[in-house]
Structure 1
Amino acid sequence: MATVKSPLTDEAMKAVGEALQGSLVDLIDLSLVAKQAHWNLTGRNFKVVHEHLDEVVALARGGQDDVAERAVAIGVNPDGRARTVADRTTLPQLEAGYLDDDKVVAAVTDVLAQIIGRFRERIAATDEPDPVTQDLLISITAELEKQHWMFQAQT
């Protein structure tokens, strides 16, 4: 079986791998939360919020791929299985059924703020062991913060 030799020390690979795995779980669940809201949205601002949620889904899915591929590049196997995400996510889940647009905007604003906080912790944690991963996390965080600003402006 072929494996990828890591350019990082074992200690650095462990720290960076944990940061990437946590980021992967956050981004997978963000895409699921946003898509669930997208499908069940109601309200006077339906169209704008509905389309905006797709932007969040696209950002999360693109970030998932970048994070998972970075993990593999440094010799860490990403785990995006449904059970792993369900067991490890800390994001609040939306209610079942139709969702009022104002509640969705507030919920997504909160979810994005939580994820941004964790991404900023991971940025700090990867500073020394792997600036390349840190750069990736900074880039994703910038996009998350842009979406947070846009959702927050709607509240």
Structure 2
Amino acid sequence: MPKDLTPRYTVPGIEREAAGRLIGLLRLRLHALNDLHLTLKHIHWNVVGPHFIAVHEMVDPQVDRVRDMADDVAERIAALGGVAQGTPGALVAERTWDDYSIGRADALAHLGALDVVYTGVIEGVRAAVKEAGEIDPATEDLLIEQLRDLEQFQWFVRAHLESAGGSLATDGARTEEQGAARGGDL
């Protein structure tokens, strides 16, 4: 990522240096959302097993909403005077996480891995909300709205991984492989 993201101009009421901080944190959110929408489509295409149709149909509305979120973040970057880097090369070069590692797999294995993915994305959004809140309520509000939707999507995923007694199969899973193994054990 370029070291200085300070724009030449920004929205009224925000200093250029503060806008640069916002642009930096939004760039990573844009990358995370673009990566998430591609990961969701990957799952959509590679899910198999008796729960295939439920997962196949559940993830498409999530893909659509995540793509809309990415668009909103990119437009906020532009409004702040920055450049929304939405290319695959920028995503790969600047991301702080590894590529989704599960290929063709049972629906519950994918959902176990996706639970771990959502946890990482949500933790990143929460950190961005905190930082944005110190600078700009409009950017903070955008991120909070997205956080609510992402948490709901994770709840949908976790509903498949939760027992009637309330225990989560992926509890304690830190990697996609661990999540997939625990989800696949159901």
TM-score norm. by structure 2 comes to 0.78
Moved >3 Å (runs of 4+): none
Give unmatched runs, 5+ long, in structure 1: none
Write the letter of the residue equivalent to 2:9: K
What is residue 106 of structure 1 aligned with on the other side?
Answer: 112
Counterpart of 1:5 in 2: which secondary structure? coil
- Choose between structure 1 and 2 for higher RCO, CA contacts under 8 A separated by at least 6 residues: 1
Between Structure 1 and Structure 2, whose CA radius of gyration is higher?
2
The question of 1:62 aligning with 2:44 is answered no
Give unmatched runs, 5+ long, in structure 2: 1-6, 162-186
Cα RMSD after superposing both structures:
1.5
Pairing partner for 2:10 from 1, 6, 19: 6
Pairing partner for 1:38 from 14, 39, 44: 44
What is residue 131 of structure 1 aligned with on the other side?
Answer: 137
TM-score norm. by structure 1 comes to 0.93
Counterpart of 2:101 in 1: which secondary structure? coil
Count of paired positions: 152
Provide the C-alpha distance between the structure 2 equivalents of 1:61 and 1:143, rounded to a whole number of angstroms: 12
Percent identity for Structure 1 against Structure 2 = 30
- Going by fraction, where is helix more abundant, 1 or 2? 1
The question of 1:16 aligning with 2:22 is answered yes
